[in-house]
Amino acid sequence: MALTREQMVALYRNLVRADQYNRMMYRRMMQGKLIGFYHPAEGAIAPGVGACTFLNQDDNLSPHHRGHGITHMLSKGIDIKYYLAEHTGKETGCCKGRSAFHFSFPEHKVYMMSGFIGYNFAPVVGWGFAAKRRKQGQVVMNCSGDGSYGQGRAHEAMLMAQNWKLPVIFFCENNGMSIFSTAAEMHPMEDISSLALGFGMPSRIVDGQDVFAIAEASLEAIARARAGEGPTFIEAKTLRFNEHDIGTPDLAGWEERSEEDHAKMREREPMKIATERVLGDGILSQDEIEVMEREVAAEVEAAEAFADASEIARPSVEELLDAVFAPQEI
Amino acid sequence: MRTITLIEAIREAYQEELRRDEDVFLVGQDIRGAIFPHTKGLVEEFGLERIVDTPIAESGMYGVAFGAAQEGMRPVCDFMFGGFSYVTFSECSVTTGQYHFLHGSQQPLPLVITAGVGTGQRLANDHAMSIHGTFAHHPGIKVAMPSTPYDAKGMFKAAIRDNNPVVIPWHMGIMMLKGEVPDVDEDYVVPLGVADVKREGSDVTVLANSLQLQHALKVADKLEGELSVEVIDPRSFVPFDMETLLRSLEKTNRLVVVDEDWESGGFAATVSARVMEQGFDLLDAPVIRVTLPNMPVPGGYMEEYVAPNPERIEAAIRAVCA
């Protein structure tokens, strides 16, 4: 599925946004201006952008925790300033400042996150079930890492999605690492997507550093799902430039990742690869890219200003107790 | 009024709610063929889209309910046996209970979790354990259990209509218990969070539920003329109707809590502590609990004397009144 110029510009713009938001989050974590932890996305910003830029507002999305789902959510049209406010404990946060790092944008069908890796595999079956029952053509973009496919519930979700031909895309962002352990040690097969074979689910592997290749594969899978043809497995082979989360050592197994490894990884920097492509194909000029970068910088700055100007959420215990259950009329 | 069994009452609740609301559906394992009779014949009336069997994959099965509830449907997830819900416990307790609160109280999560529980079948721990106390420990989940056919029908209907996750197991020891319920299609609900004084008395209050409620009522009848026993069915554990219990204690000043859960960390402990905090001055004697001893529920014939039973309840009543 060849991309149009307009689609390539949209992808490139979201990639610039993903890159700048990730750098902002990294900086703020180092400055002590984020609550909790941050799992930086440098090197792995392309999969979320490629998978999510062409989703509709009423498609379901479960973002990957890498980069805290920001690359995915911004691509789906979600205003990240409310998530940043959440991550700074503010009243204006998307979860009213009470969740640390969770996100919830129900109007965009990004319902939840959980600290349990692989939690996504249970609800995605239900979203797919509801989409199919209601026949309104929604698809479910289910993004998670190679590590999450160790969970039994991943296999259960694939089993049921394929049994019922649910419109779920199993989008695996394989960076080869789960904290310190390598996918090579933790999975018997080189490709996580080989799991799809056992369920008779179509699968494909894409270069996770190439946002355009990812988008092409995603558009095909989305079209299949919308047409009622069932789930697709996409494995985006990507990279994790930083440590797992800021502050943990940068190990593979129990040994430091080497400078050579890092140098080799950074040759495959997704922003660089995309820039060469848009310049080479004459999609964008250097001037246009610079304008875009300035506009995005202003957007990120405004998001920070919004979060910083918001009040810290300090509701009373009574108010919080009142929020545990949904009222009958919501 | 007609007389039907508790399990038939649950079936009627499903049937009426499935007819009333297109978004209601049932998901479980082998519910089409009715492994327990509360789903008997439902697939014939409502079809495969609404009476849904899944593979033996509890996380995926519960995921159908969880995700569909986020999408605004009203699923009932049947785990068959209560202990089987623990296979996917992170989803059905932690992730479920925190969903509404932690995500800014934006979205309801209208789903029902049910299963058969309890002693009486000699099946041993994994098929016999109670789950109400464990779920009641996790905030954000309502927990209730019916003791009579009337309550079963009304409470299951209330649970399905509730905007929150409701865990409502039913006790296998009373599945064939008969009782009066209103005529078919005479719509009624028994609201969650309201206890019921099943028998009035003045000397001692016994709080008991499901099979143990039946035991407590028998003991109360036996002691008639000697001790006047008030028997209260909490019906709901979360929310819990403390007011009804305290009102009873104003009259009786003595409390026995019967709970078919373990002694350690069970709901009986919660009730006892709350009574101490909120009703200490009402008590003439320490609260006594009748619970499962802290061992995995044994199967075979041991169940009869290990689980709470009428003899143990009577002994507790006599002790608290001594």
Return per-residue pLDDT of chain A as tens, 330 residues: 699 999 999 999 999 999 999 999 999 999 999 999 999 999 999 999 999 999 999 999 999 999 999 999 999 999 999 999 999 999 999 999 999 999 999 999 999 999 999 999 999 999 999 999 998 899 999 999 999 999 999 999 999 999 999 999 999 999 999 999 999 999 999 999 999 999 999 999 999 999 999 999 999 999 999 999 999 999 999 999 999 999 999 999 999 999 999 999 999 999 999 999 999 999 999 999 999 999 999 999 999 999 999 999 999 999 999 999 999 865
Q: Is A323 at the interface with chain B, CB within 8 A?
A: yes
Q: Of B124, B205, B198, B190, which Cα lies nearest the Cα of B160? A: B190
Homologous superfamily (CATH) for B2-181 = Thiamin diphosphate (ThDP)-binding fold, Pyr/PP domains (3.40.50.970)
Nearest CA-CA distance, residue A132 and chain B, Å: 10
What letter would DSSP give residue A140? E
- Cα separation, B278 vs B186, in Å, equals 39
Domain assignment present for residue A330? The answer is no
Question: Are the C-beta atoms of residues B160 and B78 closer than 8 Å to each other?
Answer: no
Q: Do B104 and A122 touch (CB under 8 A)?
A: no
Q: Do A121 and B65 touch (CB under 8 A)?
A: no
* Chain B residue with the nearest C-alpha to that of A109: B71
Cis peptide before B239, with omega less than 30 degrees from 0? Answer: yes
Q: Is the pLDDT of residue B120 over 60?
A: yes
User: What is the CA angle A144-A149-A154, rounded to 5?
Assistant: 90
Q: Is B67 at the interface with chain A, CB within 8 A?
A: yes
From the list B67, B100, B139, the residue facing A126 with the nearest CB is B67
Chain B residue numbers touching A157 (CB-CB < 8 A): 59-60, 63
Name, in order, each residue with C-beta under 8 angstroms of A132's C-beta and a sequence gap of 6 or more.
A164, A165, A166, A167, A228
Structure tokens belonging to residue B80: 């068959």
Coil, strand or helix: which one is A40?
coil
Q: Do B91 and A119 touch (CB under 8 A)?
A: yes
Instruction: For chain B, give every domain's residue range.
Output: 2-181, 196-321
Report the CATH number at residue A133.
3.40.50.970
Structure tokens belonging to residue B49: 């889209």
ipTM, 2 dp: 0.95
* Strand partners for B117: B171
Domain that holds residue A137: 5-311
Active site residues of B: 127
Q: Is the pLDDT of residue B113 over 80?
A: yes
Nearest CA-CA distance, residue B125 and chain A, Å: 24
pTM: 0.96
> Residue A4: how many CB atoms within 10 A of its CB?
9
Q: Is A21 at the interface with chain B, CB within 8 A?
A: no
Q: Is A153 at the interface with chain B, CB within 8 A?
A: yes
- The packing angle between helices A286-309 and A5-30, to 10°, is 40
Q: How many CA atoms lie within 13 A of A34 on its CB side?
A: 24
pLDDT at B170: 98
From the list B63, B73, B162, the residue facing A122 with the nearest CB is B63
Nearest CA-CA distance, residue B41 and chain A, Å: 21
- Cα separation, B95 vs B89, in Å, equals 9
Coil, strand or helix: which one is B147?
coil
Question: Per residue in B98-135, is it b (16+ CB within 10 Å) or e — as a string?
Answer: bbbbbbbbbbbbbbbbbbbbbbbeebbeebbbbbbbbb
Domain assignment present for residue A261? The answer is yes
* Chain A residue with the nearest C-alpha to that of B163: A328
Nearest CA-CA distance, residue A230 and chain B, Å: 16
What letter would DSSP give residue B94? I
Structure tokens belonging to residue B39: 């789903």
Domain assignment present for residue A316? The answer is no
Q: Is A135 at the interface with chain B, CB within 8 A?
A: no
Q: Do A104 and B67 touch (CB under 8 A)?
A: no
From the list B69, B103, B164, the residue facing A104 with the nearest CB is B103
Domain assignment present for residue A318? The answer is no
* Strand partners for B170: B116
Q: Is the pLDDT of residue B57 over 70?
A: yes
Chain B residue numbers touching A114 (CB-CB < 8 A): 94-95, 98
DSSP assignments along A226-267, one per residue: HTT---EEEEEE----S-SSTTS--EETTEEPPHHHHHHHHT
Structure tokens belonging to residue B78: 């049947």
Second CATH level (architecture) for the domain B196-321:
3-Layer(aba) Sandwich (3.40)
pLDDT at A136: 85
Q: What is the dihedral of CA A246, A248, A252, A256, to 10 degrees?
A: 100
DSSP assignments along B227-263, one per residue: --EEEEE--EEES--HHHHHHHHHHH--EEEEEEEES
Domain B2-181 and domain B196-321 have a common topology = yes
Q: Is B157 at the interface with chain A, CB within 8 A?
A: no
- The pLDDT of B213-222, averaged and rounded, is 98
- The pLDDT of B102-129, averaged and rounded, is 95
pLDDT at B172: 97
Domain assignment present for residue A319? The answer is no
Q: Which of B49, B61, B102, B138 to mutate to test the interface with A (most CBs of A within 10 A)?
A: B102
Domain assignment present for residue A326? The answer is no
Q: Is B48 at the interface with chain A, CB within 8 A?
A: no
Q: Do A95 and B103 touch (CB under 8 A)?
A: yes
- The pLDDT of B156-162, averaged and rounded, is 98
Nearest CA-CA distance, residue B314 and chain A, Å: 38
From the list B66, B110, B162, the residue facing A123 with the nearest CB is B66
- pLDDT tens column, B266-297: 999 999 999 999 999 999 999 999 999 999 99
* Tokens 């056992």 sit on residue: A198
Q: Is B240 at the interface with chain A, CB within 8 A?
A: no
Q: Is A152 at the interface with chain B, CB within 8 A?
A: yes
Structure tokens belonging to residue B98: 């925190």
Q: Is the pLDDT of residue B68 over 60?
A: yes
pLDDT at A327: 94
From the list B57, B71, B102, the residue facing A130 with the nearest CB is B71
From the list A96, A121, A163, the residue facing B104 with the nearest CB is A96
Q: Do B107 and A128 touch (CB under 8 A)?
A: no
Sheet holding A232-237, edge to edge: A60-62, A140-145, A168-174, A232-237, A203-207
Domain assignment present for residue A136? The answer is yes
Nearest CA-CA distance, residue B208 and chain A, Å: 26
Q: Is B87 at the interface with chain A, CB within 8 A?
A: no
Q: How many domains does chain A fold into?
A: 1
End-to-end CA distance of chain B: 41
From the list A96, A122, A159, the residue facing B66 with the nearest CB is A122
